[in-house]
Amino acid sequence: MFQSEVQIRVRYSETDQMGYVYYGNFAAYYEVARTEAFRQMQISYKEIESEGIIMPVLEMRTKYIRPARYDDLLKIIVQVKTKPQGTRITFHYEVFNEAQELLNVGETTLVFVDVKSGRPIALPPIILSKLDSFYN
Amino acid sequence: MFQSEVQIRVRYSETDQMGYVYYGNFAAYYEVARTEAFRQMQISYKEIESEGIIMPVLEMRTKYIRPARYDDLLKIIVQVKTKPQGTRITFHYEVFNEAQELLNVGETTLVFVDVKSGRPIALPPIILSKLDSFYN
Amino acid sequence: MFQSEVQIRVRYSETDQMGYVYYGNFAAYYEVARTEAFRQMQISYKEIESEGIIMPVLEMRTKYIRPARYDDLLKIIVQVKTKPQGTRITFHYEVFNEAQELLNVGETTLVFVDVKSGRPIALPPIILSKLDSFYN
Amino acid sequence: MFQSEVQIRVRYSETDQMGYVYYGNFAAYYEVARTEAFRQMQISYKEIESEGIIMPVLEMRTKYIRPARYDDLLKIIVQVKTKPQGTRITFHYEVFNEAQELLNVGETTLVFVDVKSGRPIALPPIILSKLDSFYN
């Protein structure tokens, strides 16, 4: 299983008048976690795109448990629990605050798409080979 | 069943470099749809908050089918399929573009919380009474 | 002089924990006002981009006078005070709430850029001709 | 003069379909830079607010020179050029990319406000005393 960890400091702009991080902002946090997970696998999402592959999100789920607040230093644990097959990859997220309280859990499924054809494609070999080491 | 409809014009700020509406922005669209649904039920979410009740989101799910794009005039159909009981209310969403293509479907569950105690409370009678007419 | 008006309902996602619209969100409101101003001139910004011209912002100024709040129905008056010459266009904005209080004033200068060369270009004749009628 | 520096990695959510960081997102970057500047002065903006003082922005200016792009690691230099007097404080910003190119320059003026009265107040002594050491 692949697992990595990233820290995000909550910005003022991300709060709402309830005094919590707006529920819609976790999607961006999850994406930061994915980008950093890829970077730790030596994969650059930026390069993936520059080679004509995009990764739109097919599905997202979030279960909110406790609120995040301004200036909290969040820890996001991101996991790819099973080695991806076919055209898709699923990430799981757990968000903690500094008191190690679990704030929310989420899941996103993304698909690899060829920009030119607009069609799903199998995971690029470069990514598969990087993932290999984590599942043996 | 309660159902209402709202239109949202996609803003430039809501696109990303893929040329699509960023997947995280639908949470805000859903919330606009909820606010307008409440307004059509003669309920003001703003007043709910000013009476010391907040409605944090407990759970969100989205299934992305087709991308939304800049300047699209989206139609969001929002439904409360069953009459809410206890402390929670669930909204379902369908987002269409002008070509009547289904772009995504979503679901959010919210809980009524008393600001002072921080605890879940039963649906306020004022909201229940407004909902009554839609479920008889 | 060209002048138009647009209404924007403040979203919950746009507030911050101060209970105000986050100061950075007015940039997106201004851009909605620009897009609608163009639409009222029979110009589609979407089409401008599809013809290989983009309009990045060169400069923005905002003076904040009173806060905007959740669910406010804002009125934005947008003006192009002088007929644009050369490669740039300047918009002025005034934002009012429903009580007709002036919330803030802003100004943005944008440049017309050819996507392929990355260089500023003169205002496209199609836009100039639409503007003509407002300055004679 | 007080000066500090902060790094921000551009998120995918912050880009727009031009492929640039959306011009409105720099307001949030500036605010991160302010928060970190305060932290380096041993001032917690979070604590300021918890003592009943808020700091709304009165004025913002930005001059955009070059675009920021996805995954860029930006460096923001923030300065308080003159020791604040009265009720206001002005921050200047310079944003650089990894190639040390200047992307934009900005300026914000904020006012100290007492939450209860809603009125401007003189800079709290705690902040003034922290600033003292930088202007002697």
Instruction: Give the best residue of A15, A62, A111 to mutate against chain B (max B CB count within 10 A).
Output: A62
pLDDT at A48: 92
pLDDT at D77: 98
Query: Looking at the DSSP assignment, which residues form a beta bridge with residue C109?
Result: C59, C90
Statement: residue A126 has pLDDT above 90 = no
Beta strands in chain B (DSSP E): 2-9, 53-54, 57-64, 73-80, 88-96, 102-111, 113-114, 119-120
Check C13 against B35: CB less than 8 A apart.
Answer: no
pLDDT at C132: 86
Chain D's closest residue to B69, CA to CA, is D17
Question: Residues of B with CB below 8 A from A31's CB?
Answer: 24
**pLDDT, mean over chain A:** 95
Q: Cβ(B82)–Cβ(B58) under 8 Å?
A: no
Question: Residues of B with CB below 8 A from A46's CB?
Answer: none
Check C45 against B71: CB less than 8 A apart.
Answer: yes
Q: How confident is the model at residue B69 (pLDDT cuts 50, 70, 90)?
A: very high
Q: What would the mean pLDDT of A97-103 be, rounded to a whole number?
A: 98
According to DSSP, residue C12 is labeled G
Which amino acid is present at C45? Y
- For the purposes of burial, counting CB atoms within 10 Å of the CB of A23, is it exposed (0-12), middle (13-18) or buried (19 or more)? buried
Name the class of domain B2-132. Answer: alpha beta
Task: Tell me what percent of the residues of chain B surpass a pLDDT of 70.
Answer: 100
pLDDT at A60: 98
Check D27 against A9: CB less than 8 A apart.
Answer: no
Check C13 against A16: CB less than 8 A apart.
Answer: yes
Inter-chain Cβ pairs, chain A and chain C, closer than 8 A? 26
CA D57 to chain centre: 10
Q: How many C-beta atoms lie closer than 10 Å to residue D88's C-beta?
A: 16
Specify whether the backbone of D105 is left (phi greater than 0), alpha (psi in -120 to 50) or beta. Answer: beta
Task: Tell me what percent of the residues of chain B surpass a pLDDT of 90.
Answer: 88
Query: Looking at the DSSP assignment, which residues form a beta bridge with residue A106?
Result: A62, A93
CA C23 to chain centre: 16
Tell me the CB-side half-sphere exposure of residue D130, using CA atoms within 13 A.
Answer: 14
Statement: residue A133 has pLDDT above 90 = no
A56 in contact with chain B, both atoms CB, cutoff 8 A: yes
Instruction: Give the best residue of C46, C50, C57, C91 to mutate against chain B (max B CB count within 10 A).
Output: C46
pLDDT at B37: 95
Q: Which of A109, C59, A27, A114 is nearest to B14 (CA)?
A: A27
Question: Residues of B with CB below 8 A from D19's CB?
Answer: 17
Count, residues in chain D:
136
Pick from A59-63, B132-136, C8-12, D7-11: least confident: B132-136
Question: What six digits make up the tokens of C122?
Answer: 């003169």
Query: Could you read off the pLDDT of A19-34 as tens digits, one per residue?
Result: 999 999 999 999 999 9
pLDDT at B127: 87
Q: What would the mean pLDDT of C2-6 be, rounded to a whole number?
A: 96
pLDDT at C131: 87
- Determine the distance in angstroms separating the CA of C88 from the nearest CA of chain B, rounded to an integer: 19
According to DSSP, residue B42 is labeled T
Query: Reduced to 3 states, what is the DSSP secondary structure of residue C15?
Result: strand
Q: What would the mean pLDDT of A64-71 be, rounded to a whole number?
A: 98
Question: Residues of B with CB below 8 A from C46's CB?
Answer: 70-71
Statement: residue B85 has pLDDT above 90 = no
Residue, of C28 and C135, whose pLDDT is higher: C28
Statement: residue D127 has pLDDT above 90 = no
Pick from C2-11, C104-113, D124-133: least confident: D124-133
- Determine the distance in angstroms separating the CA of D57 from the nearest CA of chain B, rounded to an integer: 21
Statement: residue B136 has pLDDT above 80 = no
B35 in contact with chain A, both atoms CB, cutoff 8 A: no
Query: Could you read off the pLDDT of C38-78 as tens digits, one per residue?
Result: 999 999 999 999 999 999 999 999 999 999 999 999 999 99
Q: Where are the domains of chain A?
A: 2-135
Q: What would the mean pLDDT of D121-127 be, rounded to a whole number?
A: 90
A113 in contact with chain B, both atoms CB, cutoff 8 A: no
Statement: residue D136 has pLDDT above 80 = no
Check D70 against B15: CB less than 8 A apart.
Answer: no
How far is Cα B95 from Cα A69, in angstroms, rounded to an integer?
A: 30
Q: For A13, which of D28, D44, D46 is closest by C-beta distance?
A: D28
Statement: residue A136 has pLDDT above 90 = no
Classify domain A2-135 by CATH architecture.
Answer: Roll (3.10)
- Determine the distance in angstroms separating the CA of D80 from the nearest CA of chain C, rounded to an integer: 19
Rg for chain C, CA atoms, rounded:
16
Q: What would the mean pLDDT of D28-51 be, rounded to a whole number?
A: 94
B21 in contact with chain D, both atoms CB, cutoff 8 A: no
Q: Cβ(B33)–Cβ(B91) under 8 Å?
A: yes
A24 in contact with chain C, both atoms CB, cutoff 8 A: yes
Q: For D24, which of B13, B16, B19 is closest by C-beta distance?
A: B13
Query: Could you read off the pLDDT of C76-132 as tens digits, one per residue?
Result: 999 999 999 899 999 999 999 999 999 999 999 999 999 999 999 999 888 888 888
